[in-house]
Amino acid sequence: MFARLISDIRAVKERDPAVHSMLEVFLTYPGFHALQMHRVAHFLFRYKFYLIARILSHITRFFTGIEIHPGAQIGTGVFIDHGMGVVIGETAIVKDNVTLYQGVVLGGTGKEKGKRHPTIEEGALIASGAKVLGSFTVGKGARIGAGAVVLRSVPPDSTVVGVPGHVVVLNGQRVNQFDHHQLPDPVTCHINCLEEEIHQLQERMKKLEKAHEDDSCCSSKEKKDLKIV
């Protein structure tokens, strides 16, 4: 237990440049506090003290803003940075040296029984606001981009972005021809199409108005000629 505690503190110190001392981590880091309280709750959950485990989990959420179900399995060296809004479901498995940022959800997609939450392999990183939903595996060393919604398995050593999440880098090589900043924006595309259509309609209106004015001029001239005759 003491070795796991030291491993958790070292994980924070190694991955957060804002840390100045191990004592600072021990006293002020909510992600670290949530993990230690979870380990107690998980011990109680394993021995079927379900209510006490859930109460402890509820108290931890109140003080840290991090909700970890007592049934979740979490390894050593896990770092939850800031942590506000992090949710980890009952059947989730988070292996060693995983990094989770604020707003991450490891959730399910329905009310099915059994394994319904993801397994996060060793060394994976899940960025702010990402949602990993369902019973599948995020591979070793994978990186999930901020705000991504992942609904299927992620290969090891890959990078996933977008909604729904798709692999853009695999083993250090880009999977498609687009850079991230060049991905198409469907809203912008629709607005551009509407602007083009409005421009075409305006041109047609101008032509129709001009044709109507020419017809009016011709009619007035013909009436004038008839009067003279």
- pTM of structure: 0.71
Sequence ranges of the domains in the chain = 2-182, 184-229
The CATH code belonging to domain 2-182 is: 2.160.10.10
List Cα–Cα distances, 13 to 16, 25, 65, 102, in angstroms: 6, 7, 21, 17
Distance CA 11, CA 78 (A): 7
> Helix-strand-coil percent breakdown of the chain, rounded to 5?
45, 15, 40
Handedness of CA 33, 77, 69, 85 (dihedral sign): positive
Per-residue confidence in pLDDT tens, the chain, 229 aa: 777 888 888 889 888 888 888 899 999 999 999 999 999 999 999 999 999 999 999 999 999 999 999 999 999 999 999 889 999 999 999 999 999 999 999 998 877 778 899 999 999 999 999 999 999 999 999 999 898 999 989 899 888 888 887 787 677 666 654 444 455 556 677 788 888 899 999 999 988 888 877 777 666 655 555 455 5
Do the Cβ atoms of 131 and 148 come closer than 8 Å? Answer: yes
